[in-house]
Chain A
Amino acid sequence: MHIMEGFLPSPWWQIWVVLSAPFVIMGFYALRRMVRENREALPLLAVAGAFVFVLSSLKLPSVTGSCSHPTGTGLGSVLFGPFIASVLALIVLVYQALFLAHGGISTLGANIFSMGIAGPVVAYAIFIAGKKVGINEIVTIFFAAACANIVTYVVTSFQLALAFPAEVGGFMASFMTFGAIFAITQIPLAIIEGLVIALVFKYIVQLKPEILIRIGVITQERAERLREGWA
Chain B
Amino acid sequence: MQSIDHHFLDDYACRNALRGIDTRIKLILGLGAILIAISADTPYAPLFIAIILSIVTVFCAEIPARLYLTLLLIPASFALMSVIVILFLTGGGVPILTIPLPWLTFTATDVAALNAFLILSRAIGGTCGLLFIALTTPMIELFSILRSLRLPDEFIDLAMLLYRSIFVIIGEAVAIYNAQVMRNGYSSFRKGIIAISMLSSSLFIRAWDRGEELMTAMDLRCYDGKFEILEPKASLTIYHILPVFLFLSLAGILAFLPLPFPPL
**Interface flag for A85 (CB, 8 Å):** no
What is the CB-to-nearest-CB distance from B99 to chain A, in angstroms, rounded to a whole number?
14
Chain A residues, CB < 8 A from B196: 58, 60-61, 196
**Interface flag for B122 (CB, 8 Å):** yes
- Cβ of A177 and Cβ of B85 under 8 Å apart? yes
- Cβ of B122 and Cβ of A7 under 8 Å apart? yes
**Interface flag for B64 (CB, 8 Å):** no
**Interface flag for B114 (CB, 8 Å):** no
Known interface pairs A7-B82, A42-B157, A192-B193. Does A207 touch B201 (Cβ–Cβ under 8 Å)? yes
- Cβ of B169 and Cβ of A47 under 8 Å apart? yes
Known interface pairs A31-B154, A40-B215, A50-B169. Does A99 touch B201 (Cβ–Cβ under 8 Å)? no
- Cβ of A203 and Cβ of B161 under 8 Å apart? no
Mask: chain B, 209-220; 1 = CB below 8 Å from A; 0 = not: 011101100100
**Interface flag for A231 (CB, 8 Å):** no
Contact residue among A2, A47, A98, A197 (Cβ-Cβ distance under 8 Å from B134):
A98
Chain B residues, CB < 8 A from A43: 161, 211-212, 214-215, 218
CA of A40 to CA of B263, assembled, Å: 62
**Interface flag for A53 (CB, 8 Å):** yes
**Interface flag for A105 (CB, 8 Å):** yes
- Cβ of A54 and Cβ of B203 under 8 Å apart? yes
What is the CB-to-nearest-CB distance from A30 to chain B, in angstroms, rounded to a whole number?
10
Contact residue among A7, A54, A164 (Cβ-Cβ distance under 8 Å from B90):
A164
Q: Please, which residue of chain A has its CB at the minimum distance from the CB of B219?
A: A39
Known interface pairs A9-B122, A106-B126. Does A4 touch B75 (Cβ–Cβ under 8 Å)? yes
Mask: chain B, 198-230; 1 = CB below 8 Å from A; 0 = not: 111111110110111011001000010100000
Chief secondary structure at chain A's binding surface: helix
Contact residue among B82, B124, B157, B193 (Cβ-Cβ distance under 8 Å from A199):
B193
Contact residue among A51, A101, A195 (Cβ-Cβ distance under 8 Å from B74):
A101
Chain A interface bracket (under 10, 10 to 19, 20 to 34, 35 or more): 35 or more
- Cβ of A101 and Cβ of B211 under 8 Å apart? no
Chain A residues, CB < 8 A from B133: 98, 105
Contact residue among A10, A164, A166 (Cβ-Cβ distance under 8 Å from B39):
A10
**Interface flag for A13 (CB, 8 Å):** yes
What is the CB-to-nearest-CB distance from B122 to chain A, in angstroms, rounded to a whole number?
5
What is the CB-to-nearest-CB distance from A5 to chain B, in angstroms, rounded to a whole number?
4
Known interface pairs A58-B200, A106-B38, A204-B205. Does A46 touch B214 (Cβ–Cβ under 8 Å)? yes
CA of A99 to CA of B199, assembled, Å: 22
A81-138 interface with B by 8 A CB criterion = 87, 91, 95, 97-102, 104-106
**Interface flag for B165 (CB, 8 Å):** yes
- Cβ of B166 and Cβ of A4 under 8 Å apart? no
What is the CB-to-nearest-CB distance from B14 to chain A, in angstroms, rounded to a whole number?
12
Contact residue among A8, A53, A67 (Cβ-Cβ distance under 8 Å from B77):
A67
- Cβ of B162 and Cβ of A53 under 8 Å apart? yes
Mask: chain B, 55-93; 1 = CB below 8 Å from A; 0 = not: 000000000000000010011011101101110111110
Contact residues of B with A, CB < 8 Å? 1-2, 4-5, 8-10, 31, 34-35, 37-39, 46, 71, 74-75, 77-79, 81-82, 84-86, 88-92, 112, 119, 122-127, 129-131, 133-134, 137, 139, 151-152, 154-155, 157-159, 161-163, 165-166, 168-170, 173, 186, 189, 192-194, 196-205, 207-208, 210-212, 214-215, 218, 223, 225
7 CB < 8 A contacts A-B: A9-B38, A47-B162, A99-B9, A102-B74, A105-B31, A167-B91, A167-B112
